[in-house]
Structure 1
Amino acid sequence: MPSSRKSNSKGNNISEAKQTQPIYVIQEHHATHLHWDLRFEIDGVLKSWALPKGAPQDSERRLAVQVDDHPINYATFEGTIPEGSYGAGEVIIWDRGTFNLESYEPGKRLVVDIQGSKLKGHYCLFHFKPTEKSWLFFKVQKSNLNKKN
Protein backbone atom coordinates (compact mmCIF):
# COMPACT_ATOMS: atom_id res chain seq x y z
CA MET A 1 0.00 0.00 0.00
CA PRO A 2 1.58 3.31 -1.02
CA SER A 3 2.33 5.65 1.85
CA SER A 4 0.30 8.38 0.12
CA ARG A 5 -2.95 6.64 1.08
CA LYS A 6 -4.75 8.16 4.03
CA SER A 7 -6.25 5.62 6.41
CA ASN A 8 -9.25 6.01 8.66
CA SER A 9 -9.10 2.59 10.27
CA LYS A 10 -11.60 3.49 13.04
CA GLY A 11 -10.44 0.57 15.17
CA ASN A 12 -11.01 -1.95 12.39
CA ASN A 13 -7.67 -3.62 12.98
CA ILE A 14 -8.28 -7.31 12.41
CA SER A 15 -4.92 -8.14 13.97
CA GLU A 16 -5.99 -6.61 17.34
CA ALA A 17 -7.40 -10.01 18.24
CA LYS A 18 -5.05 -12.76 17.10
CA GLN A 19 -6.80 -14.58 14.29
CA THR A 20 -6.84 -18.35 14.34
CA GLN A 21 -8.73 -18.42 11.04
CA PRO A 22 -7.71 -16.58 7.87
CA ILE A 23 -9.06 -13.12 7.05
CA TYR A 24 -11.92 -12.44 4.65
CA VAL A 25 -12.89 -8.89 3.65
CA ILE A 26 -14.93 -7.05 1.01
CA GLN A 27 -14.03 -3.41 0.49
CA GLU A 28 -16.42 -1.06 -1.31
CA HIS A 29 -14.24 0.95 -3.67
CA HIS A 30 -15.47 4.22 -5.13
CA ALA A 31 -12.86 4.50 -7.88
CA THR A 32 -13.46 5.42 -11.54
CA HIS A 33 -16.25 2.82 -11.40
CA LEU A 34 -17.87 1.65 -8.18
CA HIS A 35 -16.91 -1.96 -7.43
CA TRP A 36 -16.24 -4.23 -4.46
CA ASP A 37 -12.88 -5.87 -3.75
CA LEU A 38 -13.13 -9.44 -2.45
CA ARG A 39 -10.09 -10.65 -0.51
CA PHE A 40 -9.09 -13.93 1.15
CA GLU A 41 -5.94 -14.52 3.19
CA ILE A 42 -4.15 -17.40 1.46
CA ASP A 43 -0.43 -18.23 1.44
CA GLY A 44 0.51 -15.09 3.39
CA VAL A 45 -1.22 -12.58 1.08
CA LEU A 46 -4.72 -11.37 0.29
CA LYS A 47 -5.82 -13.12 -2.90
CA SER A 48 -8.05 -10.51 -4.53
CA TRP A 49 -10.89 -10.16 -7.03
CA ALA A 50 -12.89 -7.10 -8.15
CA LEU A 51 -16.67 -7.59 -8.09
CA PRO A 52 -18.20 -5.07 -10.54
CA LYS A 53 -21.75 -5.65 -9.25
CA GLY A 54 -21.08 -6.58 -5.63
CA ALA A 55 -21.48 -9.81 -3.69
CA PRO A 56 -23.94 -12.44 -4.92
CA GLN A 57 -27.25 -12.84 -3.14
CA ASP A 58 -28.95 -16.24 -2.93
CA SER A 59 -28.55 -18.01 -6.30
CA GLU A 60 -26.89 -15.14 -8.21
CA ARG A 61 -23.59 -15.67 -9.99
CA ARG A 62 -21.36 -12.63 -10.12
CA LEU A 63 -18.37 -11.82 -12.27
CA ALA A 64 -15.13 -11.65 -10.24
CA VAL A 65 -12.06 -10.25 -11.99
CA GLN A 66 -8.81 -11.43 -10.44
CA VAL A 67 -6.46 -8.59 -9.50
CA ASP A 68 -3.01 -8.46 -7.95
CA ASP A 69 -2.48 -9.96 -4.50
CA HIS A 70 -2.38 -7.44 -1.66
CA PRO A 71 -0.45 -7.48 1.63
CA ILE A 72 -2.35 -8.77 4.68
CA ASN A 73 -2.41 -5.34 6.36
CA TYR A 74 -4.55 -4.02 3.49
CA ALA A 75 -7.50 -5.94 4.97
CA THR A 76 -8.07 -3.11 7.46
CA PHE A 77 -7.64 -0.22 5.02
CA GLU A 78 -10.40 2.36 4.85
CA GLY A 79 -9.77 5.83 3.55
CA THR A 80 -8.90 7.85 0.49
CA ILE A 81 -6.51 6.83 -2.25
CA PRO A 82 -5.39 10.21 -3.64
CA GLU A 83 -6.13 11.43 -7.18
CA GLY A 84 -3.35 10.45 -9.56
CA SER A 85 -2.68 7.18 -7.70
CA TYR A 86 -3.74 3.77 -8.97
CA GLY A 87 -7.25 3.06 -7.62
CA ALA A 88 -7.88 6.68 -6.60
CA GLY A 89 -11.09 7.11 -4.60
CA GLU A 90 -12.77 6.19 -1.33
CA VAL A 91 -12.48 2.72 0.18
CA ILE A 92 -14.68 1.44 3.02
CA ILE A 93 -15.01 -2.02 4.52
CA TRP A 94 -18.36 -3.45 3.40
CA ASP A 95 -17.96 -6.82 5.15
CA ARG A 96 -15.26 -8.67 7.03
CA GLY A 97 -14.70 -11.77 9.05
CA THR A 98 -12.96 -15.10 8.67
CA PHE A 99 -13.33 -18.15 6.46
CA ASN A 100 -12.56 -21.85 6.31
CA LEU A 101 -10.87 -23.04 3.16
CA GLU A 102 -12.93 -26.01 1.97
CA SER A 103 -11.23 -26.61 -1.39
CA TYR A 104 -8.46 -24.83 -3.29
CA GLU A 105 -7.18 -25.58 -6.76
CA PRO A 106 -4.94 -22.57 -7.56
CA GLY A 107 -6.00 -20.90 -10.80
CA LYS A 108 -9.11 -23.08 -11.09
CA ARG A 109 -11.44 -23.15 -8.09
CA LEU A 110 -11.75 -21.90 -4.53
CA VAL A 111 -14.49 -22.99 -2.12
CA VAL A 112 -14.78 -21.23 1.24
CA ASP A 113 -17.09 -21.17 4.22
CA ILE A 114 -17.40 -17.44 5.01
CA GLN A 115 -18.20 -16.15 8.49
CA GLY A 116 -18.70 -12.44 7.82
CA SER A 117 -21.11 -9.85 9.17
CA LYS A 118 -23.08 -9.79 5.91
CA LEU A 119 -21.98 -12.90 3.99
CA LYS A 120 -22.29 -16.26 5.68
CA GLY A 121 -22.07 -19.73 4.22
CA HIS A 122 -20.33 -21.60 1.47
CA TYR A 123 -19.16 -19.70 -1.61
CA CYS A 124 -17.25 -20.72 -4.71
CA LEU A 125 -14.92 -18.84 -7.01
CA PHE A 126 -14.67 -20.68 -10.32
CA HIS A 127 -12.19 -19.71 -13.07
CA PHE A 128 -14.25 -20.11 -16.23
CA LYS A 129 -11.91 -18.47 -18.77
CA PRO A 130 -8.40 -19.83 -18.12
CA THR A 131 -6.69 -17.36 -20.48
CA GLU A 132 -8.36 -14.40 -18.77
CA LYS A 133 -8.84 -13.10 -15.24
CA SER A 134 -12.58 -13.82 -15.27
CA TRP A 135 -14.05 -15.92 -12.48
CA LEU A 136 -17.59 -16.57 -11.21
CA PHE A 137 -18.40 -15.97 -7.53
CA PHE A 138 -21.53 -17.62 -6.15
CA LYS A 139 -23.10 -19.15 -3.05
CA VAL A 140 -23.42 -22.92 -2.94
CA GLN A 141 -25.47 -25.26 -0.80
CA LYS A 142 -23.33 -27.48 1.39
CA SER A 143 -24.97 -30.56 -0.17
CA ASN A 144 -23.62 -29.46 -3.60
CA LEU A 145 -19.99 -28.96 -2.54
CA ASN A 146 -18.76 -32.32 -3.80
CA LYS A 147 -20.57 -32.14 -7.14
CA LYS A 148 -18.64 -31.09 -10.25
CA ASN A 149 -19.63 -27.75 -11.86
Structure 2
Amino acid sequence: MTRREPIGYNSAIIRAETAVAQDPLKAYRDKRRADVTPEPSGKHSPRADDQPPVFVVQKHDASTLHYDFRLEIDGVLKSWAVPKGPSTDPRDKRLAVETEDHPLDYADFEGVIPQGEYGGGTVMVWDIGPYDNAKLDDDGEIEKSLAECWADGHLTVNLHGKKLSGGYALTHFRTEGNKRQWLLVKIDDEAADARRNPVSSEDSSVLSDRTTDEIASEADTSS
Protein backbone atom coordinates (compact mmCIF):
# COMPACT_ATOMS: atom_id res chain seq x y z
CA MET A 1 0.00 0.00 0.00
CA THR A 2 1.36 3.41 -0.96
CA ARG A 3 1.98 5.63 2.08
CA ARG A 4 0.08 8.89 1.93
CA GLU A 5 2.41 11.80 2.67
CA PRO A 6 1.16 14.69 4.79
CA ILE A 7 0.48 18.08 3.24
CA GLY A 8 3.55 19.94 2.06
CA TYR A 9 5.98 17.04 2.20
CA ASN A 10 9.15 17.50 0.17
CA SER A 11 12.50 15.81 -0.36
CA ALA A 12 14.17 17.75 2.46
CA ILE A 13 11.67 16.40 4.97
CA ILE A 14 12.03 12.86 3.62
CA ARG A 15 15.83 13.06 4.03
CA ALA A 16 15.40 14.45 7.55
CA GLU A 17 13.01 11.60 8.42
CA THR A 18 15.56 9.04 7.25
CA ALA A 19 18.19 10.52 9.59
CA VAL A 20 15.69 10.65 12.45
CA ALA A 21 14.79 6.98 11.96
CA GLN A 22 18.43 6.08 12.51
CA ASP A 23 18.86 8.32 15.57
CA PRO A 24 15.77 10.28 16.66
CA LEU A 25 17.78 12.56 18.96
CA LYS A 26 20.65 13.35 16.58
CA ALA A 27 19.29 16.82 15.74
CA TYR A 28 18.83 17.53 19.46
CA ARG A 29 22.43 16.60 20.30
CA ASP A 30 23.91 18.30 17.23
CA LYS A 31 22.44 21.64 18.34
CA ARG A 32 23.82 21.47 21.87
CA ARG A 33 27.16 21.31 23.65
CA ALA A 34 26.79 18.76 26.42
CA ASP A 35 29.70 20.23 28.38
CA VAL A 36 28.12 23.71 28.45
CA THR A 37 24.33 23.42 28.64
CA PRO A 38 22.55 21.99 31.72
CA GLU A 39 19.98 20.29 29.49
CA PRO A 40 19.71 16.47 29.53
CA SER A 41 22.17 14.80 27.18
CA GLY A 42 19.54 12.57 25.65
CA LYS A 43 21.69 9.47 25.90
CA HIS A 44 19.32 7.51 28.10
CA SER A 45 15.66 8.16 28.87
CA PRO A 46 14.17 5.09 30.60
CA ARG A 47 10.40 4.79 30.95
CA ALA A 48 8.33 2.02 32.48
CA ASP A 49 6.14 0.27 29.92
CA ASP A 50 3.06 0.52 32.14
CA GLN A 51 3.24 4.31 32.47
CA PRO A 52 0.96 6.49 30.32
CA PRO A 53 2.68 8.89 27.91
CA VAL A 54 3.48 12.32 29.26
CA PHE A 55 2.92 15.80 27.90
CA VAL A 56 4.74 18.91 29.03
CA VAL A 57 4.48 22.63 28.32
CA GLN A 58 7.64 24.59 29.08
CA LYS A 59 7.77 28.36 29.16
CA HIS A 60 10.97 29.30 27.35
CA ASP A 61 12.21 32.84 27.91
CA ALA A 62 14.73 32.82 25.08
CA SER A 63 15.48 35.51 22.47
CA THR A 64 11.76 35.30 21.75
CA LEU A 65 9.44 34.24 24.56
CA HIS A 66 7.42 31.17 23.63
CA TYR A 67 5.99 27.95 25.03
CA ASP A 68 7.30 24.52 24.06
CA PHE A 69 4.52 21.96 23.75
CA ARG A 70 5.78 18.37 23.91
CA LEU A 71 4.13 14.95 23.58
CA GLU A 72 5.78 11.64 24.37
CA ILE A 73 5.55 9.51 21.23
CA ASP A 74 7.69 6.45 20.45
CA GLY A 75 10.32 7.10 23.12
CA VAL A 76 10.94 10.80 22.48
CA LEU A 77 9.18 14.10 23.11
CA LYS A 78 7.72 15.38 19.85
CA SER A 79 7.97 19.14 20.17
CA TRP A 80 6.40 22.35 18.93
CA ALA A 81 7.19 26.00 19.69
CA VAL A 82 3.95 27.87 20.43
CA PRO A 83 4.63 31.66 20.41
CA LYS A 84 1.44 32.65 22.27
CA GLY A 85 1.16 29.56 24.43
CA PRO A 86 -1.80 27.18 24.68
CA SER A 87 -5.33 28.47 25.13
CA THR A 88 -8.43 27.11 26.86
CA ASP A 89 -10.68 28.95 24.38
CA PRO A 90 -11.78 26.76 21.40
CA ARG A 91 -11.96 29.88 19.22
CA ASP A 92 -8.20 30.43 19.46
CA LYS A 93 -5.98 28.89 16.82
CA ARG A 94 -2.42 28.95 18.11
CA LEU A 95 0.50 28.57 15.72
CA ALA A 96 2.75 25.64 16.70
CA VAL A 97 6.04 25.26 14.81
CA GLU A 98 7.46 21.75 14.87
CA THR A 99 10.98 21.53 16.33
CA GLU A 100 13.47 18.73 16.93
CA ASP A 101 12.58 15.72 19.09
CA HIS A 102 13.69 16.01 22.73
CA PRO A 103 14.66 13.23 25.15
CA LEU A 104 12.08 12.02 27.64
CA ASP A 105 14.05 13.31 30.63
CA TYR A 106 13.68 16.83 29.24
CA ALA A 107 10.08 16.78 30.51
CA ASP A 108 11.06 17.93 34.01
CA PHE A 109 13.96 20.16 32.99
CA GLU A 110 14.01 23.62 34.54
CA GLY A 111 17.02 25.90 34.40
CA VAL A 112 18.98 28.43 32.44
CA ILE A 113 20.56 27.66 29.07
CA PRO A 114 23.62 29.93 28.73
CA GLN A 115 23.34 32.90 26.40
CA GLY A 116 25.03 32.23 23.07
CA GLU A 117 23.99 28.57 23.18
CA TYR A 118 21.11 27.16 21.14
CA GLY A 119 17.88 28.19 22.86
CA GLY A 120 19.74 30.37 25.37
CA GLY A 121 17.39 31.54 28.12
CA THR A 122 15.30 30.35 31.05
CA VAL A 123 13.13 27.23 30.93
CA MET A 124 10.21 26.62 33.31
CA VAL A 125 7.88 23.61 33.48
CA TRP A 126 4.59 25.45 33.05
CA ASP A 127 2.43 22.30 32.98
CA ILE A 128 2.97 18.56 32.90
CA GLY A 129 0.95 15.37 33.20
CA PRO A 130 -0.20 12.22 31.45
CA TYR A 131 -2.21 12.29 28.24
CA ASP A 132 -3.98 9.85 25.99
CA ASN A 133 -4.77 9.38 22.33
CA ALA A 134 -8.26 10.72 21.57
CA LYS A 135 -8.26 9.65 17.91
CA LEU A 136 -11.02 7.05 18.23
CA ASP A 137 -13.25 5.26 15.77
CA ASP A 138 -17.05 4.96 15.98
CA ASP A 139 -16.72 2.06 18.42
CA GLY A 140 -14.55 4.06 20.80
CA GLU A 141 -11.40 2.14 19.89
CA ILE A 142 -8.08 3.81 19.04
CA GLU A 143 -8.19 4.47 15.31
CA LYS A 144 -4.50 5.22 14.77
CA SER A 145 -1.38 5.15 16.90
CA LEU A 146 0.06 8.44 18.11
CA ALA A 147 3.01 7.99 15.76
CA GLU A 148 0.68 7.49 12.79
CA CYS A 149 -1.35 10.55 13.76
CA TRP A 150 1.82 12.65 14.00
CA ALA A 151 3.02 11.43 10.60
CA ASP A 152 -0.38 12.15 9.05
CA GLY A 153 -0.39 15.65 10.50
CA HIS A 154 -3.38 15.42 12.81
CA LEU A 155 -3.23 14.61 16.53
CA THR A 156 -6.17 14.64 18.90
CA VAL A 157 -5.24 14.14 22.55
CA ASN A 158 -6.73 14.38 26.04
CA LEU A 159 -4.46 16.20 28.48
CA HIS A 160 -4.52 15.58 32.22
CA GLY A 161 -2.41 18.42 33.55
CA LYS A 162 -2.74 20.88 36.39
CA LYS A 163 -3.40 23.85 34.09
CA LEU A 164 -4.54 22.17 30.88
CA SER A 165 -7.09 19.41 30.63
CA GLY A 166 -9.46 17.91 28.13
CA GLY A 167 -9.11 17.63 24.40
CA TYR A 168 -6.64 19.43 22.16
CA ALA A 169 -6.11 19.08 18.42
CA LEU A 170 -2.82 19.62 16.60
CA THR A 171 -3.22 19.96 12.85
CA HIS A 172 -0.47 20.42 10.28
CA PHE A 173 -1.52 23.09 7.79
CA ARG A 174 1.64 24.16 5.95
CA THR A 175 5.37 23.58 5.61
CA GLU A 176 8.05 26.26 5.34
CA GLY A 177 11.45 24.93 4.36
CA ASN A 178 11.76 21.68 6.27
CA LYS A 179 9.61 22.83 9.21
CA ARG A 180 6.02 21.73 9.53
CA GLN A 181 3.69 24.33 10.99
CA TRP A 182 0.63 23.26 12.91
CA LEU A 183 -2.37 24.79 14.67
CA LEU A 184 -3.00 23.97 18.34
CA VAL A 185 -6.70 24.29 19.20
CA LYS A 186 -8.67 23.50 22.34
CA ILE A 187 -11.56 21.14 21.69
CA ASP A 188 -14.95 22.45 22.80
CA ASP A 189 -15.55 20.14 25.75
CA GLU A 190 -16.20 20.48 29.49
CA ALA A 191 -12.66 21.72 30.12
CA ALA A 192 -12.98 24.57 27.59
CA ASP A 193 -13.19 28.01 29.16
CA ALA A 194 -13.08 31.18 27.07
CA ARG A 195 -12.82 33.27 30.25
CA ARG A 196 -9.52 31.77 31.36
CA ASN A 197 -6.15 32.98 30.16
CA PRO A 198 -3.79 30.61 31.98
CA VAL A 199 -0.70 31.84 30.14
CA SER A 200 -0.98 35.22 31.84
CA SER A 201 -2.84 34.34 35.05
CA GLU A 202 -1.04 31.12 36.05
CA ASP A 203 2.57 32.06 35.49
CA SER A 204 4.56 29.75 37.74
CA SER A 205 6.13 26.30 37.57
CA VAL A 206 3.93 23.33 38.43
CA LEU A 207 7.04 21.57 39.75
CA SER A 208 8.76 24.24 41.83
CA ASP A 209 6.18 27.07 42.03
CA ARG A 210 8.87 29.44 40.72
CA THR A 211 8.55 32.08 38.02
CA THR A 212 11.08 32.28 35.20
CA ASP A 213 12.66 35.30 36.92
CA GLU A 214 13.11 33.29 40.13
CA ILE A 215 14.63 30.35 38.22
CA ALA A 216 17.04 32.73 36.48
CA SER A 217 17.91 34.51 39.73
CA GLU A 218 18.64 31.26 41.57
CA ALA A 219 20.82 30.08 38.69
CA ASP A 220 22.82 33.33 38.91
CA THR A 221 23.44 32.98 42.65
CA SER A 222 24.51 29.34 42.36
CA SER A 223 26.95 29.89 39.50
TM-score, normalising length: structure 2: 0.56
CA distance in 2 between counterparts of 1:40 and 1:19 reads 17
Aligned pairs (5 A) from 1:100-111: 100-103=132-135, 104=146, 105=149, 106-111=151-156
Structure number with the higher strand fraction is 1
User: Aligned match of 1:41 in 64, 69, 72?
Assistant: 72
* 2:114 counterpart residue number: 82
Query: Which SS does the other structure have where 1:74 is aligned?
Result: helix
* 1:92 counterpart residue number: 124
Aligned pairs (5 A) from 1:7-26: 20-26=51-57
Query: Which SS does the other structure have where 2:107 is aligned?
Result: helix
- Per-residue CA deviation, residues 80-108 of structure 1 (Å, 9 max, x unaligned), is 10111100000000000010012342241
Structure 1 segments (4+ residues) deviating >3 Å? none
Q: Report if the CA contact (8 A) 1:5-1:79 is conserved.
A: no
CA distance in 2 between counterparts of 1:3 and 1:37 reads 23
Task: Rate the CA distance shift 1:33–1:24 in 2: closer, same or farther, 3 A.
Answer: same
The answer to whether residue 62 in structure 2 is matched with residue 31 in structure 1 is yes
CA distance in 1 between counterparts of 2:93 and 2:50 reads 30
User: Aligned match of 1:139 in 179, 182, 186?
Assistant: 186
User: Aligned match of 1:52 in 78, 83, 86?
Assistant: 83
Please report how far the alpha carbon of residue 18 of structure 1 lies from its aligned counterpart in structure 2 after TM superposition: 8.8
- Per-residue CA deviation, residues 119-147 of structure 1 (Å, 9 max, x unaligned), is 000000000115652100011135xxxxx
Code of the residue aligned with 2:100 in structure 1: it is D
Task: Rate the CA distance shift 1:37–1:19 in 2: closer, same or farther, 3 A.
Answer: farther
State which structure, 1 or 2, has the greater radius of gyration over its C-alpha atoms: 2
Task: Rate the CA distance shift 1:113–1:3 in 2: closer, same or farther, 3 A.
Answer: farther
Task: Rate the CA distance shift 1:18–1:117 in 2: closer, same or farther, 3 A.
Answer: farther
Task: Rate the CA distance shift 1:97–1:19 in 2: closer, same or farther, 3 A.
Answer: farther
The number of residues matched between the two structures is: 136
Structure 1 portions without partners, runs of 5+ = 8-14, 143-149
Alpha-carbon RMSD: 2.4
CA distance in 1 between counterparts of 2:126 and 2:88 reads 15
* 2:167 counterpart residue number: 122
Structure number with the higher helix fraction is 2
The answer to whether residue 43 in structure 2 is matched with residue 6 in structure 1 is no
Structure 2 portions without partners, runs of 5+ = 1-28, 40-45, 136-145, 190-223
CA distance in 2 between counterparts of 1:69 and 1:45 reads 6
Code of the residue aligned with 1:5 in structure 2: it is T
Query: Which SS does the other structure have where 2:106 is aligned?
Result: helix
